[in-house]
Amino acid sequence: MVANIPDADKGFRLYFSATPFPGATHKLTWRRGDNTGNWYYSEEFKAECWLCPGLFKYYRTAPKELHVKAEKK
């Protein structure tokens, strides 16, 4: 998701929403929760990713979908 962002290892911006938004480039689909976070799946990358409990600072429950956009800081 950040492969085309120069110096992404030094930081990048990640925008996310439970609903589609202009400029969103990827979609993550909720798979399951565990005791410490939630697992999402990217059909595009054929990969799962884990999101920490910080997600609940933005949502009461884990959204079924997350629409995201990553860009240079």
pLDDT tens digits along 14-43: 999 999 999 999 999 999 999 999 999 999
**pLDDT given for residue 13 in this prediction:** 96
User: Residue 26 falls within a domain, yes or no?
Assistant: yes
User: Using CA atoms, how far apart are residues 70 and 8, in angstroms rounded to an integer?
Assistant: 10
**pLDDT given for residue 59 in this prediction:** 96
User: Residue 1 falls within a domain, yes or no?
Assistant: no
**pLDDT given for residue 17 in this prediction:** 98
Q: Hey, which residues does 16 pair with through a beta bridge?
A: 68
Please state the pTM of the whole predicted model: 0.89
User: Residue 23 falls within a domain, yes or no?
Assistant: yes
**pLDDT given for residue 66 in this prediction:** 98
Q: Hey, which residues does 51 pair with through a beta bridge?
A: 38
Domain count, the chain: 1
Structural domain range at position 37 = 8-72
